[in-house]
Amino acid sequence: MKPENHSSVSEFVLLGLPILPEHQGVFFALFLGMYLTTVLGNLLIILLIRLDSHLHMPMYFFLSHLALTDVSFSSVSVPKMLMNMQTHHFFISYPGCISQLYFYICFSCVDNLLLAVMAYDRYVAICHPLHYTTIIREELCVLLVTASWITSCAHALLHTVLLVRLSICANNVITHFFCDLSVLLKLSCSDISLNELVIFIEGGMILLLPLAIILGSYIRIGTIILKAPSTKSVLKAFSTCGSHLLVVSLFYGTIVGVYLLSSSWYSKDIIASVMYTVVTPMLNPFIYSLRNRDIKQALECLLAGLKKFIGQ
């Protein structure tokens, strides 16, 4: 039977968060505060790296792109969610939904690849310190970041194109606060076997290859640290990796919560998604600023300069 055209569905209904009406105001203020913290915190990281010459190093070049990606990733879904909570208008157009899906996949993939690039950077810095400047050159840094963005755009485009060829059934209710690929596939009345195959093979590679690079890098770093003759060198090595390890744990931990541990319990999947899209991007600036001496020093210099400027 020939499937009906997807244009029969012009908009979707986003059910949003499972919050009682009387609690909407409290949660709106909470998520608005978290979103503003995410934007301001990550933009501050980018500003510090741009202004402080001591931070013009490969590690912070990658960190600035990670911060930019976190702002973009959170901005894909959170503003729309906040608008829906405030206006009680839970509709999103078909093009708007597809656009949101594309950028959600793209920015999450960039995050994933950049974490692998940063792990490789730490591996070279600790395991091959004498050759660090010759290996991690500016050209290589630009190439790695550019490759991460191009790969992510192609990855998102592939899954978006495979989705738009499907027909959507009469049910246009999305049981989520954003247009999630897995939820949209459930609304289709077409054969989604190709989509599932590509998600399993290509999506699995996009997720597992960076994870393998991260694990391989830290296994090698761990063996070097264990062979270190002094406790001081161990602490120094851990200080350069601690923030990244914590961010990696948050990122992959929430991915496990969203895609591997989600069950038929609707609220469980929503909570995991909130952690992934709202909480993790908000925490990253705090993790890097509180645990990184260079970032803290740059922040202190910026605040001192502002005080001096205001005092004039």
**pLDDT digits 0-9 by tens, 31-79:** 999 999 999 999 999 999 999 888 899 999 999 999 999 999 999 999 9
Q: pLDDT tens-digit profile of 206-245?
A: 999 999 999 999 999 888 887 776 666 566 666 668 888 8
- The overall average pLDDT reported for the chain is 87
Which CB contacts under 8 angstroms, 24+ apart, belong to 22-26?
24/85
Decide if 80 contacts 92 (C-beta within 8 A).
yes
Comparing 138 with 256, the larger pLDDT belongs to 138
Domain ranges in the chain are: 11-311
Task: Enter the pTM of the model.
Answer: 0.90
Give the pLDDT of residue 117. 96
Assign 188 to helix, strand or coil.
strand
**How far is it, in rounded angstroms, from Cα 288 to Cα 63?**
9
Q: Could you tell me which residues come within 8 angstroms of residue 157 by beta carbon, excluding any fewer than 6 positions away? A: 102
Give the pLDDT of residue 4. 42
Give the pLDDT of residue 53. 87
Among residues of the chain, what percentage have pLDDT more than 90?
52
Comparing 4 with 22, the larger pLDDT belongs to 22
Direct distance between the N- and C-terminal alpha carbons of the chain, in angstroms, rounded to an integer: 77
Strands (E), the chain: 11-14, 91-93, 173-174
Residue 152 has pLDDT above 90, yes or no: yes
Residue 24 has pLDDT above 80, yes or no: yes
Residue that is written with structure tokens 């004498």 in the block: 130
Instruction: Name the pLDDT band for 92 (thresholds 50, 70, 90).
Output: very high
Give the pLDDT of residue 227. 78
Task: Report the DSSP pairing between strands 11-14 and 91-93.
Answer: antiparallel
Q: pLDDT tens-digit profile of 166-219?
A: 988 768 899 889 999 988 998 988 899 999 999 999 988 999 999 999 999 999
Q: pLDDT tens-digit profile of 251-281?
A: 888 777 666 655 544 566 777 788 889 999 9
Q: Token digits for 156? A: 């998102």
Which architecture characterizes domain 11-311 according to CATH? Up-down Bundle (1.20)
